[in-house]
Amino acid sequence: MTATPSIAIAPLTAPPDAVIAVPGSKSISNRVALLAALAEGRSTLDGVLFSDDTRHMATALRGLGVEVEADEAAARLVIDGVGGRWPARQAELFVGNAGTAMRFLVAALCLGEGSYRIDGTPRMRERPIGELLAALAPLGGEAVSEAGTGCPPVRVRAHGLAGGCTTLDAGRSSQFLSALLQVAPYAARDVEIALSGGLIAEPYVDMTIAVMAQWGVAVERAGAVFRIRAGQRYRAQSYAVEPDASSAHYFWAAAALTGGRVRTPGLSRRSLQGDVAFAALLERMGAAVTWHADAIEVQGRGRLAGVEIDMNDFSDTVPTLAAIAPFASGPVRIDNVAHLRHQESDRIAAVCSELTRLGARVEERADGLTVWPSPLHGAAIETYDDHRIAMAFALVGLRVPGVTIKDPECTAKTFPTYFETLEQLRR
């Protein structure tokens, strides 16, 4: 199939009034795929997201000897768990630029018996993992950065995890802590993890702990110390993955930006996903938000107020807030997101570059940015092979003529049908 070099976004001719169903959560899909593989017995996962990231996880599990049956039309995975020990004693795994797959699997490989290597794209080879490798060592994990850079590829000499106490710096990725928590029940002894630095994106850790509880494993927490009792096991089950709040938030932003209404079924205040906080942020900026028991509805009011916000807890939504910020009536200041420089792209630099390309006034800082109200013009948006840059800046085209998105297929990482779904806003 020929790649699409760019896609033009035509401005809306009327405010949208739409119900938008989004695919399953990527974060939950990759977590429960791993837990199902570690469980003993057959699990059926419904509502699973099928995207580059989740396909990489499923392929890697197959490479470790796990039986994984995929039905993409039904959004279903059937996984025969292996009880915490990988059948394959050797494997070469490739996970693209999927951070959850890389970090979760590095820790999980340590449960096996044998030699494993896991690699990714050139960008993945720039993303940090050294803190996780250092935390695995006191637990009996032998995992090293092949190039000595603290980044993938990673080689693992596995002989199970002994357990015990370790310290972890999760200041650059909460996925390091989630990775340790998920494999800890299969260590020979209790595992205690003490955070030695900050913890970013804490709602993702809360999600991990909640999902583990749904699968039968309890995590005890006392401040910055996490304890997992040995001998607990994940229970094979039928499990429904909730819709992806990280995908839904683009459509909430579209409603706020265009004065329209968008309702996304399957999400609520009770969601396991921290990114539902973006709806509350839009409410603070002037949109009307209705929190239903089984849906979130956003109604734009034709205006957006400026805001100053610490977005550490829901930083995947930063590019979206930045993209709509020039339309606000006052400055939008985003703080405490320095870790965005280590994701699929340097998202702070990328966002500032593309806002400038559109004509916006923006200030870049080490840990954030400020965007001022600005008249925008059309431009061809560079996407840096980063799905969130592509999806966020497409929203600008709903208001501004002449916006095109380069390499739109990068959205396949988490939302392969994004641009088709965006067209549902037209009426």
**Catalytic residues, which ones?**
316
User: What does the alpha-carbon distance between residue 384 and residue 370 come to, in Å, rounded to a whole number?
Assistant: 21
* CA atoms of 283 and 20, how far apart (whole Å): 19
How many Å apart are CA 372 and CA 395, to the nearest integer?
17
- Using alpha carbons, select from 194, 207, 155 the residue that is nearest to residue 27: 207
> Euclidean distance between the first and final Cα of the chain, in Å?
30
Burial 37-51 (b: 16+ CB within 10 A, else e): bbbeeebbbebbbbb
Nearest to 132 by CA among 113, 109, 112, 114: 109
Q: What is the largest distance, in Å, between two alpha-carbon atoms of the chain?
A: 62
Angle 41-44-50 from CA coordinates, rounded to 5°: 130
Dig out the tokens for 46 from the structure: 């419904």
350: Cα within 13 Å, side-chain hemisphere: 23
With H, G, I as helix, E, B as strand and everything else as coil, classify residue 51.
coil
Cβ atoms of 148 and 111 within 8 Å: the answer is: no
Closest CA relative to residue 421, chosen from 20, 13, 5, 47: 20
Report CA-CA distances (Å) from 196 to 134, 171, 349.
12, 9, 28
Phi, psi angles (nearest 5°) of residue 257: -75, -35
Can you give the three-state secondary structure of 366-397, one letter per residue? CCEEEECCCCCCCCEECCCCCHHHHHHHHHHH
The owner of tokens 């020979």 is: 188
d(CA 97, CA 91): 18
| Whether residue 153 has a cis bond before it, omega within 30° of 0 | yes
Half-sphere exposure of residue 403, counting CA atoms within 13 Å on the CB side?
Answer: 27
Q: Tell me the C-alpha distance between 200 and 315, whole Å.
A: 9
Q: 393 with 418: CB under 8 angstroms?
A: no
